[in-house]
Amino acid sequence: MLNRSYNYNNFSLMHPRDQLAEIMLRIYDYIMTTTSGGNLSLLDSDGDMWITPAGVDKGTLVPDDMVCVTKDGKIIGRHKPSSEYPFHQTIYQKNSHVKAILHAHPPALAAFSVVRQIPNTLVIPQAADVCGKVGIAKYATPGTQELADNITESLNDGYDIVMLENHGVVAIGPDLLTAFQSFETLDFCARIIIKAKSLGAEITTLTEEQMTLFNQPRNALPEFEIEFHTNRELELRKEICKFTRRAYDQRLMTSTEGTFSARIDDASFLMTPYGIDRKYLNVEDVVLIKDKKREKGKIPSRSVLLHDSIYKAHPEICAITTAQPPNIMAYGITNTELDTRTVPENYILLRSIPLLKYGIEFTDGVAPILSKRTPVVIFQNDAILATGPSILKAFDRLEVAERAAQTVLYSLSIGKIVPLNKEQVDDLEKNFPVV
């Protein structure tokens, strides 16, 4: 088994074979490739290409399975290189800025490739920036020079990700982690759109004006130097890391998106950082916010001021999480409210979930809406925000909300939904009062 203790800060210091094994296992673990499908490569500082092998189980790859194809064509390793390595070579030869390539066919992106469409990355605000420009390449037989030429032709048009007709997707990057993050984010967009289609409502996308609003600086806080660490702070740092990784593993967050914060006292709270892979989050990455100042040398998540305003208005709230899980976001991009009156647990834990207009999350207008009866809200085309008296409770609400949305989406494909009636809801209110 691979050592899974790597974090974003030292990923680039891993040997190429370790990077390839780590990222391929991430892709396989999250069901974005199969035992025999997909391939990765990267160029090292000597100009040699390291690539995943042909015919080796993707779920059990280890670093020693990786193959090196030197710049003069010599193949080093105990396996043959991937059968797709010709298109990897061609891309590197014709695109000097490319240092890593990822090819896979996760079901959602494969579905888009079959209907020959491109997922719209403007359904959520950060996706367009993470993914870059997305294009499509004509179909060609896998492993052929024709496929390599078709992909390269699309890349020459300035695309960062290329959908392959009836095949899958190719993502490029200056390093392997960047290529993975763009690929993962595009897959999230594809899954959100597919799930949204089942609601039968019009899918909304963000306008240029809305994107400008999102991209405005919102966390330019002054710095302060930490003098000492309290036991509560140290414990909460550990909890934030644990639940952030857990949310990532449950596909509630992506590697580049998803936030947890936790109140320390009336003047300070901890928050996940901006720009660090959620899977590799460590306690030293978490940012302390105190009196609207940030821990020296660290940048908090974009929503820092939103969380700060909520803590100031609600002393009973001690933890907040924001995320973009695909089932919930199906509602967020179709302007459809999620009915929690399906399963008792859903209603007990969530009550009703208001769907708020995009942009309110950039103001002080969210805090007045939250209450003990309204601990969770959804922002149109942005995210879900869940609160609680603890990190565990906030996470639980995030998790239950995503499963509640998933339940409804499943139900729609079976028959007519029968929600709990007024008498049944009143009974839940009586036996499970809001405290």
The CATH number of whichever domain residue 64 belongs to comes to 3.40.225.10
Structural domain contains residue 207: no
Are both 406 and 334 inside the same structural domain? Answer: yes
Tell me the pLDDT of the chain averaged across its residues.
Answer: 94
Are both 193 and 232 inside the same structural domain? Answer: no
Q: Is 80 exceeded by the pLDDT of residue 2?
A: no
Q: Could you tell me the two tokens for 371?
A: 């209450």
Could you say which of 154, 175, 197 is where a domain stops?
Answer: 197
Interacting residues of 297 by C-beta distance below 8 A, sequence separation 6+: 223
Are the beta carbons of 258 and 324 closer than 8 angstroms?
A: yes
Which residues of 138-275 form beta strands (DSSP E)? 161-164, 168-173, 223-224, 259-265, 268-271
Q: Phi and psi (nearest 5°) for 371?
A: -165, 180
Are both 108 and 239 inside the same structural domain? Answer: no
Are both 193 and 52 inside the same structural domain? Answer: yes
Structural domain contains residue 160: yes
Question: Which of the residue ranges 7-16, 103-112, 138-147 would you say has the lowest mean pLDDT?
Answer: 7-16
Mean pLDDT, residues 27-39 taken together: 92
Number of structural domains in the chain: 2
Render the burial of 59-70: b for 16+ CB within 10 Å, e for the rest.
Answer: eebeeebbbbbe
Q: State the residue range of the domain holding 83.
A: 8-197
Are both 306 and 404 inside the same structural domain? Answer: yes
Q: Edge-to-edge, what's the strand order for the sheet holding 376-379?
A: 223-224, 293-295, 287-290, 268-271, 259-265, 319-323, 383-388, 376-379, 355-356
Are both 171 and 242 inside the same structural domain? Answer: no
Could you say which of 197, 219, 249 is where a domain stops?
Answer: 197
Structural domain contains residue 66: yes
Annotation marks residue 235 as catalytic: no
Separation between Cα atoms, residue 435 and residue 427, nearest integer Å: 16
C-alpha distances in Å from residue 163, one per residue of 102, 187, 362, 396? 12, 11, 33, 36
Report the phi/psi class of residue 249: left, alpha or beta, with left for phi > 0 and alpha for psi in -120 to 50.
alpha
Structural domain contains residue 331: yes
Structural domain contains residue 202: no
* Confidence at 9, pLDDT banded by 50, 70, 90: low
Separation between Cα atoms, residue 99 and residue 121, nearest integer Å: 24
Mean pLDDT, residues 188-212 taken together: 95
Mean pLDDT, residues 302-315 taken together: 96
Please tell me which residue in 84, 233, 239, 361 is annotated as part of the active site: 84
Are both 322 and 397 inside the same structural domain? Answer: yes
Nearest 5°: the CA angle 240, 241, 247 is 85
Structural domain contains residue 349: yes
Mean pLDDT, residues 313-337 taken together: 97
Residue 49's SS3 state is: strand
| Res 299: pLDDT | 93
pTM: 0.93
Are both 145 and 289 inside the same structural domain? Answer: no
| Res 146: pLDDT | 93
Q: Is 70 exceeded by the pLDDT of residue 219?
A: no
C-alpha distances in Å from residue 45, one per residue of 39, 99, 223, 380, 385? 20, 9, 36, 44, 43
Residue whose pair of structure tokens reads 């009156």 in the numeric block: 341
Structural domain contains residue 214: no
Structural domain contains residue 212: no
| Res 156: pLDDT | 86
| Res 65: pLDDT | 96
Are both 159 and 116 inside the same structural domain? Answer: yes
Are both 392 and 286 inside the same structural domain? Answer: yes
Could you say which of 197, 219, 245 is where a domain stops?
Answer: 197
CB atoms within 10 A of CB 91: 19
Are both 270 and 419 inside the same structural domain? Answer: yes
Are both 232 and 354 inside the same structural domain? Answer: yes
Q: Could you tell me the two tokens for 22?
A: 């780590």
